[in-house]
């Protein structure tokens, strides 16, 4: 890896989809910087972890300023950090709503805002915002989460239009049900409340997808990498479902 190798910044890259994204970019010649509140369990080659609470705009600004100073380039940004909450609007108090908005929306806002100056200077760059199947459709018991994922879809489209003249591309990848620690945590919470059998619940989730399986983090990471590559040079302002056909129903 040389000092001229491209640089990718990933938020929330220590687990699940974010970790797969870090590994995929690193395997394709990028130096990868992971902004996350927790470190990698095992740091992948050509990746580094920067401690950052992505829900705090000032933390993200400080981290990205450091990245820009150290590498003098940011070629790709993947806004992946996020949290899931299962609750209706009545079950969502203000503190819970604020916590979801702060991480899912303001975290992406901050990462994009403080990456854009370097990309504008370069007159190049690719940004991927991690949406959800809920960027397209509503789901029960998912008020705050669905709200934020709809907002991220809008963020990708408006930013793509605002910065196209700088040759900066912005797209959203919208995963469906993907088998990650976040997925298993949500299932565990449901099982604890309902008394259901976890294996049966996981099997039901898989069978709900037209392709008959859960998505894997690598499914999402490969598309994310493609959208940041030169092969996607005429793609911007688009939303891409990676959901096994769920939202086509």
Q: What's the CA gap between 25 and 186, in Å, rounded?
A: 28
Q: What's the CA gap between 65 and 142, in Å, rounded?
A: 34
225 is catalytic: no
Instruction: Tell me if residue 222 falls in helix, strand or coil.
Output: helix
Q: What's the CA gap between 130 and 175, in Å, rounded?
A: 8
Give the active site residue among 30, 109, 114, 145: 145
Instruction: Tell me if residue 192 falls in helix, strand or coil.
Output: helix
CB contact set of 233 (below 8 Å; sequence gap of 6+):
169
Instruction: Tell me if residue 208 falls in helix, strand or coil.
Output: coil
CB neighbour class for 207 (10 Å; exposed up to 12, middle 13-18, buried from 19): exposed
User: For residue 172, what is the enclosing H or E element?
Assistant: strand 168-175
User: For residue 31, what is the enclosing H or E element?
Assistant: strand 31-36
Contact 225, 21 (CB under 8 A): yes
Question: Closest by alpha carbon to 175, among 222, 237, 131?
Answer: 131
Catalytic center residues = 145
């Amino acid at each position: 890896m040389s000092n001229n190798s491209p640089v990718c910044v990933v938020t929330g890259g220590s687990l699940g989809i974010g970790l797969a994204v870090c590994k995929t970019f690193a395997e394709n010649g990028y130096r990868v910087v992971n902004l996350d509140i927790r470190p990698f369990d095992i740091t992948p080659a050509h990746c580094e972890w920067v401690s950052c609470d992505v829900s705090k705009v000032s933390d993200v600004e400080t981290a990205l300023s450091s990245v820009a100073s150290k590498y003098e380039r940011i070629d790709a940004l993947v806004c992946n950090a996020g949290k899931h909450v299962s609750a209706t609007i009545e079950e969502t108090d203000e503190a819970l709503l604020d916590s979801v908005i702060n991480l899912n929306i303001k975290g992406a806002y901050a990462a994009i805002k403080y990456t854009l100056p370097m990309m504008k200077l370069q007159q190049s760059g690719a940004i991927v915002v991690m949406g959800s199947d809920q960027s397209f459709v509503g789901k029960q018991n998912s008020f705050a989460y669905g709200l934020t994922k709809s907002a991220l879809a809008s963020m990708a489209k408006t930013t793509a239009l605002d910065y196209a003249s700088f040759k900066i591309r912005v797209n959203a990848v919208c995963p469906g049900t993907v088998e990650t620690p976040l997925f298993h945590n949500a299932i565990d919470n449901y099982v604890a409340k309902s008394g259901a059998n976890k294996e049966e619940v996981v099997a039901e989730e898989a069978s709900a997808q037209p392709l008959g399986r859960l998505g894997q983090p690598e499914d999402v990471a490969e598309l994310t990498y493609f959208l940041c590559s030169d092969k996607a040079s005429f793609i911007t302002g688009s939303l891409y479902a990676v959901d096994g056909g769920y939202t086509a129903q």
